[in-house]
Amino acid sequence: MTGGNFTISNGGIYGSMLGTPIVNPPQSTILGMHSIENRAVVRGDKIVARPMMYLALTYDHRLLDGKDAVMFLKTIKLGVENPTRILLGL
């Protein structure tokens, strides 16, 4: 890949549950998306199974501030949890 600055890595299709992608120059950021699995979570006072996916964002701190990276990751999280937000541009 040449001239790019952002990569998405989908290790989830191979069953990856968690990992840290490595930034390869000239990329500045890579988003690792992992498999969706049912996991135990607490909702109210009950433990229930919910589908969950881990995301990992690796970025070059020389080019991107940590706060901006976290805000971007939060935006991705909200979009994955509620895809209509993306479709409606909310």
Determine contact, residues 45/30, Cβ cutoff 8 Å. no
Active site residue 61: yes
Beta bridge partners of 10: 33
Which helix (H) or strand (E) segment holds residue 38: the answer is strand 29-43
Tokens describing residue 4: 């790019």
The rounded distance, in Å, linking the Cα atoms of 29 and 61 is 10
| CA-to-CA separations, 58 to 9, 51, 55, 71, in angstroms, rounded | 11, 23, 10, 13
Residue 3 pLDDT? 63
- 6-61 per-position pLDDT tens digit: 889 988 888 888 888 998 888 889 999 999 999 999 999 999 999 998 999 999 98
Catalytic residue among 34, 45, 60, 65: 65
- 75-84 per-position pLDDT tens digit: 988 888 888 8
Catalytic residue among 45, 60, 61, 68: 61
Active site residue 65: yes
- 59-71 per-position pLDDT tens digit: 998 888 899 999 9
